[in-house]
């Protein structure tokens, strides 16, 4: 027992300064991002007279979907730039982009200007994200890697918990202060970077920098040729632009028609023997799993972009707020309208709890229980853990959609959090060990984030379209949550079918090669 504790202490002490500095910068960057993003749905849809943008739910979904899509899409390029020019230089560029962009977000008064500035935030965040993760990877090793990334994941959620709390308090002074504070958080990272961050070591000179041409060639190896890439890209563009003016079901039909036309043309090329012009798909097994996993991220994003509006428009949260004020009064806190509790938690328009605090239950649960869940989860096969976790997210949406009171929203978010803790870490593990080719694992794991990118894009579009068409126009938000729950359940079934038809074959091939 004593040896284990000493070993743990030695492992923690063995982590270098750059590891801890990277974690501090991650906390601060997450405070800036989640401080704004947890409030973004309300801000974008709030009336101009209340300080918001006054946009429709469908516009909101397009903005949130496209921006988060790019945040997860760009790291395969920005990570390569970090390898070439150095992490410290690229992190500084990220902060120089992010700080003024957050500030300008609060000044943008139209959809177009807000969207353009938000894209700048996406560029800065997509530079920061792979470099801070890369720092953790470079300064850790096989002996301390599990602990290092466990600490890092906890720091992500600490920042994700503190940021919305602070932003919620400050937005009682006005929406513009939320953006000012996010800019200040990012600015604080600049002296930390310049004074304390040290460029992480490289394993050898050969790992120094991949030329961008090589990065692009690897991308086409994973995805496929130019025709396939264009087919997919146009499909995404149809959804993004189409949902601005047309019902999502009409857009889906148009996208399906585009895909069918390309398949027909491909058939013509095949029958005429013109092979060079045909679509070539890259690593089919890998892309298929990412596509299936993206349906989980579609559902996942609803917690952050749909739930705040649902609570604001459909849930009476005064019982929860009254309980908070009663507890504060019992321990001697100031419960007046000018006190800390009221400024932080009270929604003055409804008299209830501000919606962002319900979402914050997610980060709170992960901080408290992720280590325990990971220990128990290690006894379960990755695929089973993924499916149970995704199923739990579906159950949580049913709870949220049928919530008779605000307390059930908290229960639903907690259930969602446990599902996330089971599914998200093991999905990456399953991808690494059962899907990606072993000899190219590093390269393929770099594209794992694309499942988040696709899920973020369609999660945002579906959120905006379904909230407008079902929750607002049909006045049936419960049905909307059933749709999202259905996506989770279908995702479970498809991943299981993938495993029995593709996954087991991969396992047999690996056992044969090892034997």
Residue 177 sits in the same domain as residue 34: yes
The answer, yes or no, to whether residue 507 has pLDDT greater than 70, is: no
Report the C-alpha gap between 299 and 297 in whole angstroms.
5
Cα 171 to Cα 275: distance, rounded to the nearest angstrom: 59
**How many domains, the chain?**
3
Domain shared by 32 and 135, yes or no: yes
Same domain, yes or no: 415 and 509:
yes
Same-domain pairing of 507 and 370? yes
Taking residues 322-340, what's their average pLDDT? Answer: 92
Shared domain for 372 and 499, answered yes or no, is: yes
Same domain, 240 and 386: no
Do 141 and 110 share a structural domain? yes
Confidence at 243, pLDDT banded by 50, 70, 90: confident
Is residue 207 a part of any domain in this protein?
Answer: no
Query: Residues 176, 275: one domain?
Result: no
- Give dist(CA 403, CA 415) in Å, integer: 13
Model confidence band, residue 8 (pLDDT cutoffs 50, 70, 90): low
Query: Hey, how many other C-beta atoms are within 10 angstroms of the C-beta on 488?
Result: 27
Mean pLDDT of all residues belonging to the chain: 87
pLDDT at 3 over 70: no
Sign of the torsion formed by the C-alpha atoms of 433, 436, 437 and 442 = negative
Give the lowest-confidence range in 49-53, 320-324, 397-401. Answer: 49-53
Percent of the chain with pLDDT over 70: 90
Higher pLDDT, 280 or 196: 196
Question: Is there a contact between 276 and 288 (Cβ–Cβ < 8 Å)?
Answer: no
| Statement: residue 206 has pLDDT above 50 | no
Does 218 map to a domain? no
Q: Which residues contact 211 (CB under 8 A, 6 or more apart)?
A: none
pLDDT digits (tens, 9 = 90+) for 77-124: 888 788 888 899 999 999 999 999 999 999 998 999 999 999 999 999
Instruction: Please give the Cα distance from 394 to 380 (Å, whole number).
Output: 20
Kindly report the CATH number assigned to the domain that includes residue 460. 1.20.1250.20
Q: Considering only residues 160 and 429, tell me which one the structure prediction assigns the higher pLDDT.
A: 160
Residue 259 lies in a domain: yes
pLDDT at 138 over 50: yes
Q: Report the range of poorest mean pLDDT among 61-75, 418-432, 463-477, 494-508.
A: 494-508
Question: Tens digits of per-residue pLDDT, 431-471?
Answer: 766 676 666 665 676 788 889 999 999 999 999 999 999 99
Q: How far apart are CA 298 and CA 461, in angstroms?
A: 9
Domain boundary at 196, 213, 247, which?
196
- pLDDT band per the 50, 70, 90 thresholds, residue 146: low
Q: Which domain holds residue 457?
A: 283-317+353-515
Beta carbons within 8 Å of 151's beta carbon, 6+ residues apart: 23
Answer with the one of 196, 212, 235 that is the final residue of a domain: 196
Is 344 part of any domain? no
Whether 399 is covered by a domain: the verdict is yes
Q: Are residues 276 and 291 in the same domain?
A: no
Q: DSSP 3-state assignment of 196?
A: helix
pLDDT of residue 355 exceeding 90, the answer is: yes
Whether residue 346 has pLDDT greater than 90: yes
Give the whole-angstrom CA distance, residue 95 versus residue 88: 11
Q: Which residue has the tokens 């000493």?
A: 6
Query: 378 lies in a domain?
Result: yes
339 within a domain of the structure (yes/no): no
Residues 190 and 250 in one domain: no
Per-residue pLDDT, 200: 84
336 lies in a domain?
no
175 and 237 housed in the same domain: no
If asked whether residues 158 and 293 sit together in one domain, one would say no
């Amino acid at each position: 027992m004593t040896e284990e504790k000493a070993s743990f202490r030695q492992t923690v002490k063995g982590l270098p300064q750059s590891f801890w500095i990277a974690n501090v910068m991650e906390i601060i960057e997450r405070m800036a991002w989640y401080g704004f993003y947890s409030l973004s749905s309300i801000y974008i849809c709030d009336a101009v007279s209340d300080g918001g943008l006054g946009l429709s739910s469908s516009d909101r979904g397009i903005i949130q979907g496209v921006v988060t899509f790019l945040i997860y899409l760009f790291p395969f390029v920005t990570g390569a730039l970090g390898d070439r020019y150095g992490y410290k230089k690229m992190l500084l560029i990220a902060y120089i982009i992010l700080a003024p962009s957050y500030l300008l977000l609060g000044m943008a008064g139209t959809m177009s200007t807000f969207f353009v500035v938000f894209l700048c935030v996406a560029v800065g965040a997509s530079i920061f994200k792979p470099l801070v993760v890369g720092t953790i990877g470079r300064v850790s090793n096989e002996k301390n890697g599990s602990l290092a990334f466990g600490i890092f994941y906890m720091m992500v959620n600490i920042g994700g918990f503190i940021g919305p709390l602070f932003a919620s308090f400050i937005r009682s002074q006005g929406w513009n202060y939320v953006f000012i504070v996010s800019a200040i958080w990012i600015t604080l990272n600049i002296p930390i970077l310049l004074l304390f961050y040290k460029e992480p070591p490289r394993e050898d000179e050969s790992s120094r920098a991949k030329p961008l041409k090589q990065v692009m060639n690897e991308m086409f190896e994973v995805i496929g040729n130019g025709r396939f890439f264009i087919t997919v890209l146009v499909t995404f563009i149809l959804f993004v632009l189409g949902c601005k003016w047309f019902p999502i079901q009409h857009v889906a039909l148009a996208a399906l028609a585009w895909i069918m036309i390309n398949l027909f043309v491909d058939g013509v090329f095949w029958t005429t023997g013109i092979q060079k012009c045909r679509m070539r798909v890259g690593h089919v097994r890998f892309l298929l799993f990412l596509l299936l996993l993206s349906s989980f991220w579609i559902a996942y994003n609803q917690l952050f972009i749909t739930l705040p509006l649902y609570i604001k428009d459909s849930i009476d949260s005064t019982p929860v707020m009254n309980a908070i004020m009663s507890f504060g009064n019992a321990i001697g806190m100031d419960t007046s309208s000018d006190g800390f509790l009221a400024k932080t938690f009270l929604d003055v328009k409804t008299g209830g709890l501000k919606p962002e605090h319900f979402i914050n239950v997610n980060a709170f649960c992960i901080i408290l229980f992720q280590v325990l869940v990971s220990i128990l989860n290690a006894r379960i096969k990755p695929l089973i853990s993924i499916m149970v976790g995704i199923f739990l997210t579906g159950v949580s949406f049913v709870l949220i959609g049928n919530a008779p009171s605000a307390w059930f929203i908290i229960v639903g978010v907690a259930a969602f959090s446990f599902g996330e803790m089971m599914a998200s870490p093991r999905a990456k593990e399953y991808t690494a060990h059962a899907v990606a080719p072993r000899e190219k694992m590093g390269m393929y794991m770099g594209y794992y984030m694309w499942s988040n990118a696709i899920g973020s894009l369609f999660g945002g579009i579906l959120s905006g379209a379904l909230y407008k068409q079902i929750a607002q126009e049909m006045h049936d938000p419960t049905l909307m949550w059933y749709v999202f729950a259905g996506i989770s359940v279908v995702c479970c079934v498809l991943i299981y079918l993938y495993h029995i038809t593709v996954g087991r074959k991969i396992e047999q091939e690996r056992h044969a090669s090892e034997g």
